[in-house]
Structure 1
């Protein structure tokens, strides 16, 4: 008997050690709010440059008629004093169609930012405006328009991405076809006029436009676009719109010098007559791609994620990640090639909560956790998050009596 026990002892030791080695590392969920540089404003956005600089951009509400697009940089968990990019009294400032800032891949010397500026009297007549800085944001160039149709119509929901050749790719929703000789009234995706389109172009530091292209000739009218770069090329995600009013999430990919035809991520078959104002977010690391989106077919609201291991050519079946009452407004970052962090807005007993959860391609979902309290009102906007090395940075609009941007970090 003693001999048997001695023989089994090494086995027990091996099994015990194996179990200890496989024990999952504890994921920190402690959110640390950091003072925001915003006085009164909203619609924040985040960007991480190639050299590891975190940029926060937002619209500061100067008074009842004038707005300013400003930015700040994060260092040692403190935001720098805001720098003004542009100001205007004729801007189109919208809770869902917000400005952005990106940095060229030149060590942070050159920046580009966009905002929306009205172009005519129509409620949705506005252009995309892009300004650039060659001195790290101290001074900014005269703005230019990346679409050259010259038609007073809706142009917005812009996504910009720096490329390695000192160029920037931009994609946006383009409403040039919604206006015509027989349709001079506002057309915002409710059956009037032509369809909203998805377009793209590349611009350089001089503002020269090249490779202007229509990527999809019929899309949803007011859902955000998103763009990522895989090892094979660019991939753009957006909400499509069929003739039968099915509004599911689609992608187009750049393969070589050509763009693929639009393809669905998954056939949710969400039939809805108007725009849900809830776009997807796509991220990539080499061949690994993850996309998060909101859908509500038959009024069953869901936040989903799908993964690709082949640069977006094929995607897994979607994985539901919400807690049962999602409002959408998603974001996503890659924690590693095999894990992502998804955030969204979830309805709560009082208002709403910004939540996040880890998920991997095998369908393993972590415990969801709260980032901040919020509300379902449009004024609360779309929470944003980005990953910079071993830290997640969050930004959102706190829509109390005075609207302010709030920020927080999560150490990984």
Structure 2
């Protein structure tokens, strides 16, 4: 493997975001769900089958599942994973987790069916591709379990960890770990993940379970020692079923008195371990990539995603994967331009991130959050995130080359609109608008010089038929252009107002 240069170095100066890269136009995953969707997680099989889960908070909370067998051209109708409706928790970044092995799907989430003070971790599995699910409680029966994390190791053992709090007082106890060696039929007694010396885990920051190339299981998390919140890991000792001592992964001396709600994202290949994480720089939260070339003994390299001369930029919630060529790919939240999901890649042998660009559509006018990145065996990338325009929906994009014949069906913002009728008109005219997918929409009136006259509509439209009516106010008669922008597609129609 090519070497990465030590220490922190190159800072790529970016003054404005780039909205072009190898990612496709975004697809709406939560198309028919109500617009209260949060914290997606995704797993991608070697052949590119995509499984996505998230929490929908309508009427409480449910874990929704959808899949795509054509690399994201289409997604299935969502189904609920949890069997007791309206109890899935969405506190903080407390979303569900999903893993796949040998055609069996595994899901873990925090559930409040026993009451708020008895939020517990629940596990479900599906052996028919997500059509049906069977579930069981795996968390503490007496206690509060939040921020669950799930993984299936190379031996097929299912591991589940979560933060454990004392009921009533909500005093923090520890990170708890349980595992199943029989495909989820039964689960082990709980083990404490760390001895917490010094400090204790940041109790509202997600945990990351990761299996190294040598089969070693590690748990990465943000530690809290008198509000110094750096990243640490502990190793699982399978011979005596216990966790080892804390090992530092970041050395930022990151002081923060509030909870950053952000954990590490770990990747590895051969002797290289990469960790994408958030820390503070000059009073602003920034995302970095720390590298270890000695299987985690030291993390001597720290690379910023990118640095900018613009102030008041905040980054968080990175998600990373490593592809077979040794390149490390990262998604993260960025606060510029009202909030975007940015992508960057550390190419093998380089010491700086490149191809920095936004994955979401360039017309975003509100925050995009909670990105998650996956890959298939060929190195194609798959991204999901929460789009906060007009509610909260789950969006998807991929670097997989969509065939030209499918481009139309892949683009989620297709629409058709009739010419204005009547035209010429007085006092009003209207259009018949049909959307193939739910989408954000703007309908704007311009005069013949291109000056904006008024906005007819600016909001969110559901899939299907809509009647758009324009009745001018106190303007003079003449030619006016009606401009439709639905998602990333645009059409303009000429009208004549008689007065």
Indicate how the Cα distance of structure 1 residues 381 and 174 shifts in structure 2: closer, same or farther if over 3 A, else same: farther
Q: CA deviation at 1:52?
A: 4.6
> Are 1:151 and 2:145 matched, yes or no?
no
Which entry has the higher C-alpha Rg, 1 or 2?
A: 2
The TM-score with structure 2 as length reference comes to: 0.66
Q: CA deviation at 1:302?
A: 2.1
Q: How does 1:8-407 map to 2 (within 5 A)?
A: 29-38=21-30, 39=32, 40=34, 41-49=37-45, 52-60=48-56, 63-65=58-60, 67-78=62-73, 79-86=75-82, 88-94=85-91, 96-104=93-101, 106=102, 108=103, 110-118=104-112, 122=116, 125-145=118-138, 147-148=139-140, 150-153=141-144, 155-176=145-166, 179=167, 184-185=168-169, 187=170, 193=171, 195-203=172-180, 204-210=182-188, 212-216=190-194, 217=196, 218-232=200-214, 233-242=216-225, 244-254=226-236, 257=239, 259-296=243-280, 299-324=283-308, 325-336=313-324, 338-348=326-336, 350-359=337-346, 360=348, 362-372=350-360, 380-388=368-376, 389-407=378-396
Show the counterpart of 1:5.
none
Cα distance in 2 between the residues matched to 1:211 and 1:311 = 29
Indicate how the Cα distance of structure 1 residues 270 and 85 shifts in structure 2: closer, same or farther if over 3 A, else same: same
Cα distance in 2 between the residues matched to 1:365 and 1:37 = 29
Indicate how the Cα distance of structure 1 residues 197 and 152 shifts in structure 2: closer, same or farther if over 3 A, else same: closer
Whether the aligned pair in 1 keeps the contact of 2:110 and 2:121 (CA below 8 Å) is yes
Whether the aligned pair in 2 keeps the contact of 1:120 and 1:152 (CA below 8 Å) is no
Q: CA deviation at 1:287?
A: 3.1
Indicate how the Cα distance of structure 1 residues 34 and 51 shifts in structure 2: closer, same or farther if over 3 A, else same: same
Indicate how the Cα distance of structure 1 residues 65 and 172 shifts in structure 2: closer, same or farther if over 3 A, else same: closer
Indicate how the Cα distance of structure 1 residues 197 and 168 shifts in structure 2: closer, same or farther if over 3 A, else same: same
TM superposition outliers: structure 1 runs of 4+ over 6 Å: none
Whether the aligned pair in 1 keeps the contact of 2:324 and 2:379 (CA below 8 Å) is no
Whether the aligned pair in 2 keeps the contact of 1:71 and 1:85 (CA below 8 Å) is no
Q: CA deviation at 1:361?
A: 6.1
Higher helix share: 1
The TM-score with structure 1 as length reference comes to: 0.79
Whether the aligned pair in 2 keeps the contact of 1:253 and 1:312 (CA below 8 Å) is no
Q: Secondary structure at the match of 1:368?
A: strand
Aligned length: 360
Q: Which stretch shows the higher mean deviation, 69-78 or 350-359? A: 69-78
Whether the aligned pair in 1 keeps the contact of 2:89 and 2:95 (CA below 8 Å) is no
Compute the RMSD of aligned alpha carbons. Answer: 2.6
Indicate how the Cα distance of structure 1 residues 70 and 76 shifts in structure 2: closer, same or farther if over 3 A, else same: closer
Could you tell me which runs of 5 or more consecutive residues in structure 2 were left unpaired when the two chains were aligned. Answer: 1-19, 402-499
